[in-house]
Amino acid sequence: MRTLLTAAVLAAALAATAAAQSKPVYKIGTEGVKSPVLTHEIKPIYTKGATDRKVQGSIELKAVVQADGTVAEGIRVTKSLDPDLDAAAITAVRQWTFRPGTKDDKPVDVEVDIELTFTLK
């Protein structure tokens, strides 16, 4: 009996996870989708190693801003600059919050492109 109950709970959890993962992710400008608006930004840390190596330039990322205004897991680097700075950029962007993007005036998950520039002073 206990095994059957455990299996039922596990099946329900897997079904909920699958349903959450199948939520559509929209692209800005398609199907009347409006862009999310950044409301809270955390600047990435310029790592000591990158500073010592005098690394400068831009990193490009793709991220999904969820309907609740948070950034989803799975941020992707589409243009790398330096492994340390790539990781610092991802860490910072994970903490950003947005007014969510909308479709038909309802909040939806929207894929965004983000560019961060690192410049030494």
Tell me the residue range of the domain where 80 lies: 25-118
Query: What is the pTM assigned to this prediction?
Result: 0.79
Residue 36 · residue 65 · CB < 8 Å: yes
- Average confidence (pLDDT) over 48-73: 97
Residue 15 forms part of a structural domain: no
Kindly tell me if the per-residue pLDDT of 21 is higher than 90. no
For residue 109 the two structure tokens come to 């998950």
CATH assignment of the domain containing 81: 3.30.2420.10
| Per-residue pLDDT tens over the stretch 66-82 | 999 999 999 999 999 99
Residue 7 forms part of a structural domain: no
Q: Could you say which DSSP state residue 28 is in?
A: T
Say how many Å lie between the first and final Cα of the chain, rounded.
Answer: 67
- When pLDDT is cut at 50, 70 and 90, the band that residue 47 belongs to is very high
3 state SS of 60: strand
pLDDT score recorded for residue 31? 86
pLDDT score recorded for residue 80? 98
Count: domains in the chain: 1
